[in-house]
Amino acid sequence: MIALKFTVNQQDIEITVPDSMRLLDILREELNLTGTKEGCGIGECGACTVIMDGAAVNSCLILAEQCQGSRVETVENLEKDKILSQLQEAFLENGAVQCGFCTPGMLMSAKALLAQNPHPSLEEIKTALEGNLCRCTGYVPIIESVQKAAEKLGKDAK
Ligand code: FES
Ligand code: FES
């Protein structure tokens, strides 16, 4: 077992879990944050994407000890986070949410991008989302949503 201290969505977490537990399971099973989804479980689909210390990561590949002292953000933070909530609104307006299974992971990858690069090029958006698979949308509405959210956030900042 390992005693962990880290933050999730700005809240301090102290929890003791098995060493082999994945961040994905800590979030879903221990903290009841079920917005983060499990698809492949092997780092290939992006459904489990969260932000750890500012970078988008696959939470199915992060073991408990790697969480020690980290700052984790999940899709549940969208009520408090302007970039995430703007992205969600753009996804909904642009038909970028169909079955919705990929959406939390897409939002987190897009948030990590816009937090570091508020005015990304098309290529930069495609690169940021290339680890997130979507079976429904053909990606175009998702990419356009990220562009629109970036524009709106840019205007709001002026
Ligand atoms: S569930 Fe983690 S990448 Fe697919
Ligand atoms: S909306 Fe269904 S997988 Fe993306």
Whether residue 7 is predicted with pLDDT greater than 80 in this model: the reply is yes
Whether residue 156 is predicted with pLDDT greater than 90 in this model: the reply is no
Query: Given pLDDT bands bounded at 50, 70 and 90, which one contains residue 55?
Result: very high
In this structure, the answer to whether residues 102 and 153 fall within a common structural domain is: yes
The residue written with tokens 């939470």 in the block is 59
- Report how far ligand 2's centroid is from the alpha carbon of 98 (Å): 5
In this structure, the answer to whether residues 57 and 89 fall within a common structural domain is: no
**Is the overall model pTM greater than 0.85, yes or no?**
yes
- Report how far ligand 1's centroid is from the alpha carbon of 37 (Å): 8
In this structure, the answer to whether residues 87 and 31 fall within a common structural domain is: no
Distance CA 47, CA 43 (A): 9
Helix axes 82-93, 140-157, angle to 10 degrees: 130
Q: How many helices (H) and strands (E) does the chain have?
A: 5, 5
Which residues fall within 8 angstroms of residue 80, CB to CB, at 6 or more apart? 9, 10
**CATH number for position 153:** 1.10.150.120
Structure tokens of 53?
């210390």
Query: Given pLDDT bands bounded at 50, 70 and 90, which one contains residue 125?
Result: very high
Report the nearest atom of ligand 2 relative to the CA of 99: 2
SS3 category, 140: helix
Helix H or strand E encompassing 5 = strand 2-8
In this structure, the answer to whether residues 99 and 28 fall within a common structural domain is: no
Query: Given pLDDT bands bounded at 50, 70 and 90, which one contains residue 129?
Result: very high
Structure tokens of 62?
């992060």
Residue 29 near residue 51 (C-beta atoms within 8 A): no
Which residues fall within 8 angstroms of residue 35, CB to CB, at 6 or more apart? 74, 75, 76, 104
In this structure, the answer to whether residues 25 and 36 fall within a common structural domain is: yes
Which of 62, 77, 92 delimits the end of a domain?
Answer: 77
Res 39: pLDDT: 98
- For atom 4 of ligand 2, the residue with the nearest CA is 134
Give the residue numbers spanning the domain of 104.
78-157
Ligand that lies nearest to the alpha carbon of residue 107, given by its number in the listed order: 2
Which of 25, 45, 77 delimits the end of a domain?
Answer: 77
**What mean pLDDT do residues 46-68 have?**
98
For residue 39 and ligand 1, the question of a CB distance below 6 A is answered with yes
- For atom 2 of ligand 2, the residue with the nearest CA is 99
Res 158: pLDDT: 72
Res 131: pLDDT: 97
In this structure, the answer to whether residues 99 and 125 fall within a common structural domain is: yes
Report the nearest atom of ligand 1 relative to the CA of 60: 2
Number of domains composing the chain: 2
**CATH number for position 47:** 3.10.20.30
